[in-house]
Amino acid sequence: MDELECCVLLYRDLDRAHARRRCDQRLQLMTQVADACAAQTALSESKVAALAQRRARKGKQPVHDELPLVNKRSPQCRRVWITVRFNGSQFHGWMRQPSLRTVQEVLEDVIRPLLGQRVRLVPSGRTDAGVHATAQVCQFDALLGDVPVESLVPVLAVQLPGDIRVMRAVVVQPSSNIMVTLWKRYVYRIFGDAASINCFCGQVTQ
């Protein structure tokens, strides 16, 4: 379903002239968002490419370490919360670790060049190796400019690997702290028939 069909379904209860105006406005906004994302991505890619060439000449790694730090005192700085879903089978937990694939590493290595800033993701809780998540929330601070934060979701969907997805992105108050949570929910699913599970019951001690 393309954008025009979405608009027709969204405004089908309005009169024809009004619906057409609303569709035109929505399509124009979507075009502006797409253009802004494309321009921001192209700019970030050119920065990363230049840094890669510079570090290649010096024989150093990694590239993202030379991206500018986020100026949290800037009036354009925003605190962003993203909701992440991932299959943890191929991840060695959340936190960055040398020479290991982690959730934090994969997300930051995509978001940093996209925004052209050395953002740091802070999770509501860290997961261990092999642990999955359906709604892990994490935060980062970044200078967003005129790009709506919601537009990051479809862009990240294209650039992230298939075992991790960003489901939602919102701007929150600067004082919001993802580490201060009211509750967390953990779900444990045990696969196997009843006999294979019950064979461990006799080993439970007080």
The residue whose two tokens read 């019950």 is: 198
Look at residue 9 in the predicted model and tell me its pLDDT: 46
Q: Is the dihedral of CA 127, 130, 133, 137 positive or negative?
A: positive
- The CATH code of domain 69-172 reads 3.30.70.580
Start and end residues for every CATH 3.30.70.580 domain found in the chain: 69-172
Please give the structure tokens belonging to residue 132. Answer: 């999955």
Distance from C-alpha of 182 to C-alpha of 199, rounded to nearest angstrom = 37
Look at residue 36 in the predicted model and tell me its pLDDT: 58
Low-confidence ranges of the chain (pLDDT < 70): 1-16, 19, 22-23, 25-66, 68, 71, 191-206
List residues with catalytic annotation: 128
75 cis-preceded (ω within 30 degrees of 0): no
Asked if residue 109 lies in contact with residue 120, where contact means CB atoms within 8 angstroms, the answer is no
Residue 162's alpha-carbon distances to 42, 128, 158, 166, 194, in angstroms, are: 23, 19, 9, 11, 33
Cα–Cα nearest to 167, from 179, 157, 177, 159: 157
Look at residue 1 in the predicted model and tell me its pLDDT: 44
For residue 165, report the phi and psi dihedrals to the nearest 5 degrees.
-140, 145
Distance from C-alpha of 26 to C-alpha of 11, rounded to nearest angstrom = 11
